[in-house]
Amino acid sequence: MNGPLRVGNYEFGSRLIVGTGKYPSLEIMQQAHQASGTGMVTVAIRRINLDDPTGKTMLDYIDRSRYTILPNTAGCTTAKEAVLTAQLARELLETDLIKLEVIGDAQTLYPDTAETIVAARELVRDGFTVLPYIVDDPTACKRLEDAGCAAVMPLGAPIGSGLGICNRYSISIIVEHASVPVIVDAGVGTASDAAIAMELGVDAVLMNTGIAAAGDPVKMARAMRLAVESGRLAFEAGRMAKKLYANASSPVTDLIGSAK
């Protein structure tokens, strides 16, 4: 229905990217992924549990013939940690895709912009297709684009907050100035949030908690799919101009009982 999403050398039919965290069960996660229509799902990278070394990993629950995996560097607080995590992810998953996330503050989970830019430069130099999570700051997005990132991923609101798109104006400015895809990452809490993001002209939306923490994650995944599609269609169609006063839709002449 919508045109494809192109990020670096990759192309996706869906403009919705979905996480794998916080679902009530892995079975519900799989059903939600299917209902969302997504072509790309995120995973995190962590140490194996030495007390349960043969335990299953998330890869046992993702059909890689259907979904491209986007590993993240979640939890990293320095560029050095993020670069090593990305390299481990590449070795594990045989992908050059990386969702770069360098956290600057544990309470807000806002990114450390300076460290994110340092890590982005190094990862681009190392051949990665870098998708950085960043604040909704046009300058920070520009710096990341200049660093060679394949997309920029400004937050709509803090991770896991479900507050929606808190600053539509800064997202619009980022869209206006970016020459790489803009993906809203974090903050979407319900379908209208996703539609608003897409109507602002962003290229895609990445979400996890908005689906996983819904009362019925599978139903919400379908709602998000429809919202992303309809928001994109509305953006492509171009909305009508806003007016302060009413403008009748029916003829204002030949009214019954009116004087000739």
Partner 1 sequence: MKATVNGEQRILDLGTTVGRLLAELGVRDAGIAVAVNDRIVRKAAFDEHALQDGDAVEIIRAVAGG
Tokens standing for 208? 């996890």
Q: Indicate whether 42 belongs to the interface with partner 1 (CB under 8 A).
A: yes
- CB under 8 Å to 226, separation ≥6 — which residues? 191
Closest by CA position to 154, among listed 131, 125, 122: 131
Over the window 175 to 214, marking each residue x when it contacts partner 1 by CB under 8 A and - when it does not, the resulting string is: -------------------------------xxxx--x--
C-beta of 90 vs 143, nearer to partner 1: 90
C-alpha count within 13 angstroms, C-beta hemisphere, residue 95: 24
Q: Indicate whether 46 belongs to the interface with partner 1 (CB under 8 A).
A: yes
The helix/strand/coil state of 219 is helix
- CB under 8 Å to 223, separation ≥6 — which residues? 190, 191
Q: Which of 1, 53, 246, 251 binds partner 1 (CB under 8 A)?
A: 53
Tokens standing for 244? 């302060």
- Give the shortest CB-20-to-partner 1 separation in angstroms: 5
Closest by CA position to 171, among listed 191, 209, 198, 150: 198
Active-site hit among 99, 142, 219, 260:
99
Q: For this structure, is 99 an active site residue?
A: yes
Q: Which of 91, 244, 249, 259 binds partner 1 (CB under 8 A)?
A: 91
Q: Indicate whether 231 belongs to the interface with partner 1 (CB under 8 A).
A: no
- Give the shortest CB-172-to-partner 1 separation in angstroms: 25
- Give the shortest CB-185-to-partner 1 separation in angstroms: 9
Tokens standing for 148? 């060679």
Helices 217-237 and 191-199: crossing angle, nearest 10°?
A: 20
Q: Indicate whether 71 belongs to the interface with partner 1 (CB under 8 A).
A: yes
- Residues catalogued as catalytic: 99
Residues lying near partner 1 in the complex (CB under 8 A) are found at 19-23, 29, 42-48, 50, 53-54, 57-60, 69, 71-72, 74, 80, 84-85, 87-89, 91-93, 159-160, 206-209, 212
